[in-house]
Amino acid sequence: ELKVEQNPLFLSMQEGKNYTIYCNYSTTSDRLYWYRQDPGKSLESLFVLLSNGAVKQEGRLMASLDTKARLSTLHITAAVHDLSATYFCAVDMGGGADGLTFGKGTHLIIQP
């Protein structure tokens, strides 16, 4: 059974600081996705990582994938309040099944 673990699950940080969210998964996969969810809203796709060593950046967010370590990171640089949200990583189920297995999410609060 595929397991996806994120940590931390809750993070409160100050504006201007840097931090990293970690996503570990339990099976071989070279496809990992990051999503953002604002309270009461839908999920918005942030990054699609499709190979070992993939790195993608958008504004103050950068995501990377290490398939050998089964680890993805989402790095936040010089955080701003607008980045407050819940961030999910998700991995393709594989094994003939379609769909994603999600981590439990990281609830990020950025305080002025």
Partner 1 sequence: NAGVTQTPKFQVLKTGQSMTLQCAQDMNHNSMYWYRQDPGMGLRLIYYSASEGTTDKGEVPNGYNVSRLNKREFSLRLESAAPSQTSVYFCASKRVLNTEAFFGQGTRLTVV
Helices (H) and strands (E) in the chain, counts: 0, 11
Q: Which is nearer to partner 1, 43 or 71 (CB)?
A: 43
Q: Which is nearer to partner 1, 20 or 51 (CB)?
A: 51
Report whether the peptide linkage leading into residue 112 is cis, meaning its omega lies within 30 degrees of zero: no
Q: Which is nearer to partner 1, 54 or 79 (CB)?
A: 54
Does position 11 bind partner 1 by CB under 8 A?
no
Query: x/- contact string, 29-68, with partner 1 (CB under 8 A)?
Result: --x-x-------xxxxx--x-x------------------
Amino acid letter, residue 12: S
> How near is the Cβ of 110 to partner 1 at its closest, in Å?
21
Closest CA to 102 of 12, 27, 49, 32: 32
> Which residues would be at the binding site for partner 1 (CB under 8 A)?
4, 9, 31, 33, 41-45, 48, 50, 88, 90, 92-93, 97-105
